[in-house]
Structure 1
């Protein structure tokens, strides 16, 4: 492909095909090391944890170079509008897969609380399966199996975290509109505010877990309630951390002069992800902490 052809950038009629890359193979190998190390670690082979750490570091290095290549292609004008559309569809399907991921856990919460608990409380089933069962949620199970614990209410940390995430959605929208209007200084400021709010959220959630464990005796082993509470909130917290990291990369790119008012899908893709994280938290706040 000629250089003159490639510099047409977004108006070019072609679909840029990059050269062969070793990044997918390297990433697959790093993930294989992580999985094998984790399997050995959970089976009592303690030194295997170093394989997990090494695999994760290797994966981060591969992703750094992989995304670096994609950014270089974008900034040197190799990508056409067809590539832009491809990126948008890819991000859309990725977010859809995340929707299904969380839907599975929300479904497990609903099924356990609204279907199996009343079913086990039915008189006929009690006599057959669990004579002493009381159909209340949350449930501590058979006597002595699950330690007594307290549930996590909405006040005050979860409510504070809700305010933090909702505010971050507003600041990110302000930053996006500023970029579209080519006010780069304003865009950077509000994007930094969004990232800061995200990391404050993660810190508050860490303190919430500390409080749950030490003050409420709420653990991952606290029956179905404890398992679903930590799975839902923990995976969401990981997504907040990932989203804040993505936005931090976008901020660095902004500071380097990347993106224009008309061409900034990297920013938009990260913003889509962040707003998705906000919406998931609203569901968590209502169905885990209130109902």
Structure 2
């Protein structure tokens, strides 16, 4: 009986030693890295469904199918909800969970750069259409550009005012960025407030210009190119304004540091992109394209 008990103790000790050795060996198998492996998320699937519903509903609405407008509105609401919840999760990862290391931030910067490049190509298509029609106007346009019977918008009015407003907003957002780097929270908030005021003023003046414009989107290719290019630019101004407003709130809640503020940095990059696109629009579509 004693022999059996000693044998059992020996086997247990042997198992314990093997377990300890296994744990020691397992330590060398662990790989430590600075990348963030995101948790499973439902938002990509939900966003895809929302985009599908928005697109399908929009097509059905344009074809006068019953319920098309409601389907489009439902899909758009889903997209807005996903935008809020998905970005909320990313903010939580960056601030409270501290998952956004420098390596992760480098990847986010590359992603933002590629996104802006895709936006550049988006507007490049509109500029291509504009120059294709303006440099070689067809006979049904009267062989001239702007087309016959098109009264263009005066460049020295709202367009020139909006140019000064948007360039000034680019200066104030740069001020906010530098204030954030030197930990001047008050200056960052003041400069962002000025940026938001200028952005809102730009959008309001753009809306007034559309109301008083002497032509509409159906007035030849000139109206189509003008409203598509300036309209999508106005939409990008609205998106940039929302991004800067969210950054304003995050500065109030102390989400940013002097070295970790990519959320604001990406919004500032996007805003400078909007500035540059407007300069091209002002010079080509408004000034050069409006000369009779």
Higher alpha-carbon Rg: 2
Tell whether the 8 Å contact from 1:16 to 1:79 is kept in structure 2 after alignment: yes
Question: Is 2:146 the counterpart of 1:138?
Answer: yes
Match of 1:27 among 39, 47, 56: 47
Runs of 4+ in 1 over 2 A off after TM superposition: none
Count of residue pairs brought into register by the alignment: 256
Residue 197 of structure 2 aligns with which residue?
196
Structure 2 unaligned residues grouped into runs of 5+: 1-31
Tell whether the 8 Å contact from 1:41 to 1:49 is kept in structure 2 after alignment: yes
Counterpart-to-counterpart distance in 2, 1:273 and 1:170: 14
Tell whether the 8 Å contact from 1:220 to 1:227 is kept in structure 2 after alignment: yes
Question: Is 2:98 the counterpart of 1:77?
Answer: yes
Q: Deviations over 1:60-109 (max 9, x none)?
A: 11111101111100002112211101100000000000000101111111
Question: Is 2:226 the counterpart of 1:229?
Answer: yes
Instruction: Please list, as runs of the form range in 1=range in 2, the aligned pairs for 1:148-227 lying within 5 A after superposition.
Output: 148-212=149-213, 216=214, 218-227=215-224
Counterpart-to-counterpart distance in 2, 1:52 and 1:193: 35
Instruction: Please list, as runs of the form range in 1=range in 2, the aligned pairs for 1:275-290 lying within 5 A after superposition.
Output: 275-290=272-287
Residue 237 of structure 2 aligns with which residue?
240
Shift in Å, 1:151: 1.1
Shift in Å, 1:134: 3.2
Shift in Å, 1:26: 0.3
Counterpart-to-counterpart distance in 2, 1:202 and 1:105: 20
Shift in Å, 1:138: 1.7
Question: Is 2:13 the counterpart of 1:16?
Answer: no
Q: Deviations over 1:21-54 (max 9, x none)?
A: 1100000001111011101000012531121111
Tell whether the 8 Å contact from 2:172 to 2:194 is kept in structure 1 after alignment: yes
Residue 4 of structure 2 aligns with which residue?
none
Counterpart-to-counterpart distance in 2, 1:88 and 1:14: 16
Q: Give the alignment's TM-score, normalised by structure 2.
A: 0.85
Residue 127 of structure 1 aligns with which residue?
none
Tell whether the 8 Å contact from 2:233 to 2:274 is kept in structure 1 after alignment: yes
Q: SS at the partner of 1:262?
A: coil
Q: SS at the partner of 2:217?
A: coil
Residue 59 of structure 2 aligns with which residue?
39
Q: Give the alignment's TM-score, normalised by structure 1.
A: 0.85
Q: SS at the partner of 1:20?
A: coil
Structure 1 unaligned residues grouped into runs of 5+: 1-11, 122-129, 141-147
Q: Deviations over 1:115-171 (max 9, x none)?
A: 3x1xx45xxxxxxxx7xx73111224xxxxxxx441112121011110110000010
Tell whether the 8 Å contact from 1:13 to 1:80 is kept in structure 2 after alignment: no
Shift in Å, 1:13: 3.8
Instruction: Please list, as runs of the form range in 1=range in 2, the aligned pairs for 1:54-65 lying within 5 A after superposition.
Output: 54-65=74-85
Task: Let me know the Cα RMSD of the aligned residues.
Answer: 1.3
